[in-house]
Amino acid sequence: MEQREIKRALISVYHKDGIDKIAKRLVELGAELLSTGGTYDYIQSLGLPVRAVEEVTGYPSILGGRVKTLHPKVFGGILHRRELNSDTEQIEEYQIPAIDLVIVDLYPFEKYVASNSPHEEIVEKIDIGGISLIRAAAKNYKDVLIVPSMNHYPALQDILSKGASTTIEERRKFAAYAFETSSGYDTAIFSYFNREEGIESFRESRSGSKRLRYGENPHQGALFYGEEDSLPEQIWGKEISYNNLLDIEAAIELIGDFERTTVAVLKHNNACGCASRESVSEAWDAALACDPVSAFGGIIISNREIDRAAAEGMNKIFFEVVIAPSYTDDALTILKEKKNRIILINRRDLRSSDKFRSLLGGVLVQDRDTAVEEASEHKVATHTAPDNKQMSDLTFANKLVKHSKSNAIVLAKGETLLASGIGQTSRVDALKQAITKAESFGFSLEGAVMASDAFFPFPDCVEIADNAGIKAVIQPGGSVRDQESTDYCNNHNISMVFTGVRHFKH
């Protein structure tokens, strides 16, 4: 078991919550307490005996508190290998007190970064002594127990409730926690400095984890790593699944591009319904009409508060998740009629974060696609320009095709999705899929518009669209054969605009 008795503990923490019970228990067990600065003052205020680190080292805290514990008499006491006679001899020679327990809670660096504090203030919140104490104690886990953050106070209290000794298994476990803490802390600091420097090195750290019911399929395990506020706030329903999370992110990304009141329905990361209207209720009715079959079991998202009228309409079908910035009380009462329905409040803005995925034993990292091409940015490529109504529809359709799996085609009219062709190996197949789907739900494509996520290499797509009744097209342009598509449109009175921005989504 390799038991080690806690005879002396060094406590240096930022957050004092919970340290009172630990300090009192250590004193009850006969341990001597060493401490620094504010922690020393706090323990003294509890009426407990505590010795200042400055008394041990013979040096005061200097440089405005930057140097307090960085001293051989502190680190020698932590790194002293009890089984080595040579270490013990030196400890005795230099009168270094052995330290058996180190409790640290680091300066909240990430909190200050998130609050947009001045750079000088953020730099001062880079913990030097604390992180050094953590690493030293973790390295010597065979003899020393390290508690690296207040998150681990409850586990320490469990150990102390049984007595003043620790096992090698306990010390090794806490050492692993310590290196998790130190590596995450260093990653946060690097990420902050790398905003300006742009060093090509991938570093990410997520300290919280949530075990999901399973992955994409029941035979696959899955975890979500991230803090609680990484996810939209859940106010009702069953546990969120892996596939739910994929759809939730796709929905949040999509709805963020729309300024008008808009409701979208997503299935497998793609919109199967979407409409912009004057009210949420009207937008919901139009979005559902796009494809009521696919909407079954899907995810609904709105960029406006969901009211009673909208909730009553939504409640008529089965869906997994609803997301909105807020809900009226009446709407929540209705939506909560299904106990497993997941109700989320969305306050996330994903536009500033990178996207990354693992593959082939490595990691792909890219900027999130935040480009949104408004009507004023479209370049008319044909003799005939779109009228105002067509331009609104083209802009609407282009936002949707951006968030559809490539190869993708979107057909829209009246700021309503009529149908889309998604995930096809050819753009012609994507268009044919969209036309067939629109016709199957009884939509007329006369006067509709078409959006493509990439250029047309041949004029075949605009010809097929023309034969279906479509009279306005939006695409990135950039093909060496752009002129062939443009010529076809000019010869058949079709307007076409170029955005200059491709939106592949693989």
Task: Quote helix, strand, coil % in the chain, to nearest 5.
Answer: 40, 20, 40
Select from 48, 45, 47, 70 the least CA-distant residue to 60: 70
Residues near 482 by beta carbon (within 8 Å), at least 6 away in sequence? 381, 455, 456, 498
The helix-helix angle for 19-28 and 153-160 (nearest 10°) equals 20
Is omega for the bond preceding 340 within 30 degrees of 0, making it cis?
no
Determine the Cα–Cα distance for residues 347 and 256; give it in Å rounded to an integer: 11
492 classed as catalytic: no
- Among 125, 142, 268, 389, which one carries the catalytic annotation? 268
Catalytic residue among 139, 142, 338, 492: 139
**Residue 21: CB atoms within 10 Å:** 12
Amino acid symbol at 276: S
Is 22 buried (19+), middle (13-18) or exposed (0-12) by CB count in 10 A? buried
C-alpha pair distances (Å), 145 with each of 23, 69, 71, 167, 286? 15, 17, 19, 9, 62
Across the beta sheet with 342-345, what order do the strands follow? Answer: 233-236, 342-345, 321-324, 299-302, 262-267, 270-276
One-letter amino acid at 396 equals F
Q: Which residues contact 449 (CB under 8 A, 6 or more apart)?
A: 386, 390, 393, 394, 397, 411, 412, 413, 470, 471, 472, 473, 474
- What Cα–Cα distance (Å) separates residue 231 from each residue in 215, 237, 418? 17, 15, 31
Token code pair at residue 150: 């207040």
Catalytic residue flag (residue 471): no
CA atoms within 13 A on the CB side of 1: 6
Would you call 151 exposed, middle or buried from its count of C-beta atoms within 10 A (0-12, 13-18, 19+)? middle
Sign of CA dihedral 360, 361, 362, 364: positive
Task: Extract the tokens encoding 435.
Answer: 């036309």
Pairing of strands 449-452, 409-412: antiparallel
Give me the phi and psi of 437, to 5 degrees please.
Answer: -65, -45
Q: Of 371, 368, 469, which Cα lies nearest the Cα of 419?
A: 469
Per residue, the 3-state secondary structure of 293-357, as one string, reads HHHCCCEEEECCCECHHHHHHHCCCCCCEEEECCECHHHHHHHCCCCCCEEEECCCCHHHCCEEE
Distance CA 181, CA 133 (A): 12
Which are the catalytic amino acids? 139, 268
